[in-house]
Structure 1
């Protein structure tokens, strides 16, 4: 875990926040990756949304899964290991204590790392809603209904063992070492368009050719460079080597997380909708999230409509979305700020 960065909070603002917190009963906390960053887990922004030079938005997507479940499982196996090696930080423990003292507290978490649960917040208590799932839950990719919860086995299969990541990916062997300006998602879109134009009977889905995977022509070049060999569009891992559903035995297991392009779980969203349909909300905490991903981005405004005052805890001002004059804005390390703004109120014990 990284060392917390010291904060320099305005005493007047902290005092005002603590007074409101003392009198608050119903509290909603919207949590993002910045909560776990002090534990050493990178945010998408800090990695430029890249993983081993792959666009995370493409790997963690239904298109990425259809094209290469092996690559997707490599990505999530690494994330599972990173999360297991990380420890909850003081911000996690501060929220757990808040939940103990304020029974009307509910955390709406976008994090899948399990650190808040390891700090002591019971996922079955009703005080924690995992909007994006959990890295350590698995489900049948075919929808047979099989779910394996709290699976911490590593590796899940031999081919996913640490250090066995394979380099046979799209673009390997391109002349001059330049990566192609194409992606699995682009191939997926082209195939879908061709299928629509030709119809199912005439459309034939095949592997990309060398020309398909070549870099586009650069400014000033007369020819398109084509690799000598056709690059592989996959990790080199065969489906037979990956974890299979033990119930139906017809489909692979997948991480039970929400991929880019998928909807949030219906049961979770029904619970969230009910939260904003109930009585007055006293306080909304927005912690470690830029509030740019929907529908989570709209939760703060929904809380305001129920009377909530809003407190922001983020590293930078750019992550605070349209603050109002009476909002509290605390900029800095969540692992420092959350204990600091809670402890004098008596929620935490020093």
Structure 2
């Protein structure tokens, strides 16, 4: 078991206790945090993929931005879906299966118990795996805001407005079965000697401009991906970036074989998640804006996120601006680089640390 550390940064170095808790945390700092927690009414928790690490679910960074040699940033984008919806659906079918096989860990249950104990608690989650909901946090929708959507909600890829909530069917269709996906991504569906075509958002944008010039503005239908389609959610201190190398996008799957929208009967269904280059859900962002415009915030807990992806990266500072003290729970100190001197910083597995520092009864 890894050694877990904790510290509270102060203007002057604090004399740390020589004793530690069973999980390696400094009891002085744990006690300080618990005291503030007990006095807190309005609590905001900002959640990233690290919350589900002990459940066995990798983050995008864990797979080095690649999935079966494909650039994840382009697969998980409007450009990727327009270019090859079959490949995108293969990727998300694998993610759905992984999430279904996983289960909530003690960190999920610790947050559920905190929500029950503190009615003013709100979780702002970047996770799409549904584990917080399965742990019980969806009992009060006001306490859980899904910033990036949910793998198990499906929506029309067009504009008919159809949504299928909590669809746990697997596979959604025969071509997305585990056997078919594994065979396809390993190259079994590509004929010997055949090279899958390369494509990039920039290439399609160039073709679109040429077609627009040939056809004229009135006859040209805007359907091609743009450079922004290939860009991930803006990271702090960085410009919107486009992959330099054009990844291979090829599944060989026909659109007729993929999940169809029963609402309009014309478009495909897509995972109801936020893709790179897309805006966060408007209704969720309105709720988040209202959250930080209301009364003061007593405590912000940042769990399992590097706080580099915008706009979620700004929520901690918004809470701080409303008077919140901040606690960080992360595996790596580099993921806490935005911490202030007065913050608590607990390093280690969230599944170990959260149950201990929250110290709530009834945890599973």
* TM-score, length of structure 1 as denominator length: 0.84
Which of 323, 328, 342 is matched with 1:307 structurally?
A: 323
TM-fit CA distance, 1:241:
0.4
Contact 1:137 1:148 in 2 (8 A): yes
Q: Distance in 2 between matches of 1:307 and 1:109?
A: 21
TM-fit CA distance, 1:124:
4.7
Pairing of 1:34-49 with structure 2 (within 5 A): 34-49=50-65
Q: Distance in 2 between matches of 1:193 and 1:304?
A: 45
Contact 2:128 2:146 in 1 (8 A): yes
Q: Distance in 2 between matches of 1:314 and 1:100?
A: 23
Q: Is 1:316 aligned with 2:332?
A: yes
Q: Distance in 2 between matches of 1:278 and 1:233?
A: 46
Equivalence for 1:291: 307
Equivalence for 1:280: 296
Q: Is 1:187 aligned with 2:203?
A: yes
Contact 1:290 1:320 in 2 (8 A): yes
Residues 28, 57 of structure 1: alpha-carbon distance in 2 compared, 3 angstrom cutoff:
same
Equivalence for 1:263: 279
Which of 170, 175, 182 is matched with 1:159 structurally?
A: 175
Residues 349, 92 of structure 1: alpha-carbon distance in 2 compared, 3 angstrom cutoff:
closer
Residues 235, 200 of structure 1: alpha-carbon distance in 2 compared, 3 angstrom cutoff:
farther
Equivalence for 1:341: 357
Which stretch shows the higher mean deviation, 7-16 or 332-341? 7-16
Q: Distance in 2 between matches of 1:168 and 1:322?
A: 40
Pairing of 1:1-350 with structure 2 (within 5 A): 5-7=2-4, 8-122=24-138, 124-165=140-181, 166-167=184-185, 183-195=199-211, 200=216, 233-343=249-359, 346=360
Residues 289, 38 of structure 1: alpha-carbon distance in 2 compared, 3 angstrom cutoff:
same
Q: Distance in 1 between matches of 2:174 and 2:35?
A: 55
SS at match of 2:31: helix
Residues 168, 19 of structure 1: alpha-carbon distance in 2 compared, 3 angstrom cutoff:
closer
Q: Distance in 2 between matches of 1:299 and 1:232?
A: 36
User: What is the count of residue pairs matched by the alignment?
Assistant: 316
1:33-64 CA distance string (max 9 Å, x none): 00001100001121101111111100000000
Q: Distance in 2 between matches of 1:265 and 1:239?
A: 26
What are the ranges of 5 or more consecutive residues in structure 2 without an aligned counterpart?
Answer: 5-23, 223-246
Residues 262, 250 of structure 1: alpha-carbon distance in 2 compared, 3 angstrom cutoff:
same
Residues 203, 151 of structure 1: alpha-carbon distance in 2 compared, 3 angstrom cutoff:
closer
SS at match of 1:108: strand
* TM-score, length of structure 2 as denominator length: 0.80
1:120-147 CA distance string (max 9 Å, x none): 1116531000010000000111120111
Contact 1:101 1:347 in 2 (8 A): no
Q: Distance in 2 between matches of 1:323 and 1:167?
A: 41
TM-fit CA distance, 1:95:
0.3
SS at match of 2:138: coil
What are the ranges of 5 or more consecutive residues in structure 1 without an aligned counterpart?
Answer: 206-230
Residues 335, 232 of structure 1: alpha-carbon distance in 2 compared, 3 angstrom cutoff:
closer
SS at match of 1:97: helix
Deviating runs (4+, > 2 A) in structure 1? 4-8, 172-175, 177-180, 182-205, 231-234, 346-350
Contact 1:90 1:336 in 2 (8 A): yes
SS at match of 1:122: helix
Q: Distance in 2 between matches of 1:124 and 1:236?
A: 43
